[in-house]
């Protein structure tokens, strides 16, 4: 049995709260490692928090400007040396979802670059086991928070699928602010063998009321999607669920998209405020859809999708009204010109880093006063499976 297989077997048989102990012991035995530290990125994507039995005992390290942050940002191992010792910083990432960084310290004479591929495999196995272990322990969830979450934020984070996702056909990244006090903004995605479904949601209101409303809408959309309904059917079922509960007093804005992984053809249904921009061959364009009624505003609303096509190399950016409606001190909305400049300026960043970069620029654009609403950004890079068409937006008539 090779070294990695032994570590993987030990992880699978470990108690959920002992995964780091098992990895530490295995790396010590198999690779001569002296010390192991696991840090998970916080909800604000600004710091890396140590996983430890007593939370907040160890000081966090910043994502920007630290050796661990460099490994996290580049998604590549990063090695530092200090007084005869080597620190190997390894990203812990599962299917494109960046979780954190594992740091292993060993004597310099024990380190060789050939160890990195196997140690990276250990990190992948650890990440998979953490996802499973979170069903049974709060240890890893606690390590993700640099401050206490509001109850509304707790509900919203538990609803999200992750913060990034990658497959050969596409790569996704998303971020929400304020991370520790979000209200009604949400995103969701699901990929099958042939399709990617993406939804960007904005529930009205604040606090618990907004979180409950969004939870109802997102779960109704998931229920409809899992029942095999098409995009219009998903919107109709969620519309009925929200209206039945609130009778038009509250509603949810949502942008639904379904991507064909073979052809790049996209069905889109715009039921409210989230909007989309496209970066293609260096040019940024706001893509407009036919506006339809938000979910739950009226009884028995009928929805109709429209279609457009994405090309290999396209980058799509989705933003909530808390992004494009945010104003500068001079009164100009961020979505008028600044958002397009930001999308162009971040074109060399991977999609996992674009939402955070856009939101940091938004904070500076808005000025010293806090944002008035949630701010949600989702970035999608499209590769596809084959060459596709001209990317024009096509209206779909009633069928």
Mean of pLDDT values over 14-25: 94
Q: Residue 368 — pLDDT band, cuts 50, 70, 90?
A: low
What's the pLDDT tens digit per position in 135-169?
A: 999 999 999 999 999 999 999 999 999 999 999 99
Cβ-contact 107, 85 below 8 angstroms: yes
Alpha-carbon distance 370 to 160, whole Å? 24
Q: What pLDDT is recorded for position 370?
A: 65
DSSP-assigned letters across all residues of 170-203: EEEEEEEESTTS--SEEEEEEE-SSEEEEEEEEE
Cβ-contact 43, 158 below 8 angstroms: no
Helices (H), the chain: 3-12, 19-31, 67-74, 116-133, 139-142, 151-159, 207-226, 231-246, 321-324, 338-345, 354-366
Alpha-carbon distance 61 to 72, whole Å? 12
The tokens 């990125």 sit on which residue?
Answer: 41
Task: Considering only CA atoms, give the Rg of the chain.
Answer: 22
Q: What pLDDT is recorded for position 391?
A: 43
The structure's pTM equals 0.90
Question: Which CA distances in Å does 156 have to 8, 125, 152, 159?
Answer: 32, 27, 6, 5
Cβ-contact 224, 238 below 8 angstroms: yes
Mean of pLDDT values over 22-40: 92
- Please return the burial class of 301, using the count of CB atoms within 10 Å of its CB with bins 0-12, 13-18 and 19+: middle
Alpha-carbon distance 264 to 308, whole Å? 9
What's the pLDDT tens digit per position in 172-208?
A: 999 999 889 888 899 999 999 999 999 999 988 888 9
- Reference 204, options 213, 215, 195, 196; nearest CA is 213
- Reference 184, options 203, 212, 156; nearest CA is 203
What's the pLDDT tens digit per position in 218-233?
A: 999 999 999 999 999 9
Cβ-contact 129, 14 below 8 angstroms: yes
User: Which distant-in-sequence residues (6+ apart) come within 8 Å of 15 by Cβ?
Assistant: none
The bridge status of strand 375-382 relative to strand 170-177 is antiparallel
Q: How many CB atoms lie within 10 A of CB 299?
A: 11
Q: Which three-class secondary structure state does DSSP give residue 252?
A: strand
Kindly report which listed range (122-126, 191-195, 247-251, 327-331) carries the lowest average pLDDT score. 327-331
- Please return the burial class of 249, using the count of CB atoms within 10 Å of its CB with bins 0-12, 13-18 and 19+: exposed
């Amino acid at each position: 049995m090779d070294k990695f297989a032994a570590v993987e077997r030990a992880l699978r048989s470990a108690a959920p709260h002992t995964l780091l102990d098992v990895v530490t012991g295995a790396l010590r035995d198999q690779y001569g490692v002296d010390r192991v530290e696991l840090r998970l990125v916080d909800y604000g994507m600004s710091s890396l928090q140590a996983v430890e039995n007593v939370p907040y005992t160890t000081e966090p390290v910043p994502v920007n400007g630290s050796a661990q942050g460099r490994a996290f940002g580049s998604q590549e191992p990063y090695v530092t040396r200090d007084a005869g010792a080597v620190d190997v910083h390894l990203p812990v990432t599962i299917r494109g979802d960046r979780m954190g960084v594992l740091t292993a310290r060993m004597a310099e004479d024990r380190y060789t670059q050939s160890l990195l591929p196997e140690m990276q495999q250990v990190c992948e196995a650890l990440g998979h086991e953490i996802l499973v272990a979170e069903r049974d322990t709060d240890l890893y969830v606690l390590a993700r928070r640099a401050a206490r979450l509001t109850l509304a934020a707790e509900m919203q984070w538990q609803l999200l699928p992750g913060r990034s996702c990658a497959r050969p056909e596409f790569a996704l990244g998303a971020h929400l602010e304020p991370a520790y006090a979000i209200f009604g903004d949400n995103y969701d995605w699901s990929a099958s063998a042939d399709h990617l479904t993406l939804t960007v949601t904005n529930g009205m209101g604040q606090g618990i009321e907004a979180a409950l409303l969004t939870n109802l809408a997102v779960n109704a959309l998931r229920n409809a999607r899992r029942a095999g309904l098409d995009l219009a059917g998903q919107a109709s079922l969620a519309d009925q669920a929200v209206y039945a509960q609130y009778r038009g007093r509250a509603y949810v804005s949502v942008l639904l998209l379904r991507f064909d992984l073979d052809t790049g053809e996209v069905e889109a249904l715009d039921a409210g405020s989230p909007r989309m921009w496209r970066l293609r061959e260096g040019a940024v364009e706001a893509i407009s859809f036919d506006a339809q009624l938000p979910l739950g505003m009226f009884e028995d609303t009928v929805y109709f999708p429209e279609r457009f096509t994405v090309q290999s190399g396209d980058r799509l950016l989705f933003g909530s009204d808390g992004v494009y409606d945010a104003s500068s001190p001079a009164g100009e909305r961020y979505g008028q010109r600044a958002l397009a400049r930001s999308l162009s300026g971040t074109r060399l960043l991977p999609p996992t880093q674009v939402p955070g970069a856009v939101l940091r620029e938004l904070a500076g654009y808005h000025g010293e006063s806090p944002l008035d609403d949630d701010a949600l950004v989702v970035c999608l890079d499209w590769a596809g499976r084959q060459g596709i068409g001209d990317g024009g937006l096509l209206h779909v008539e009633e069928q």
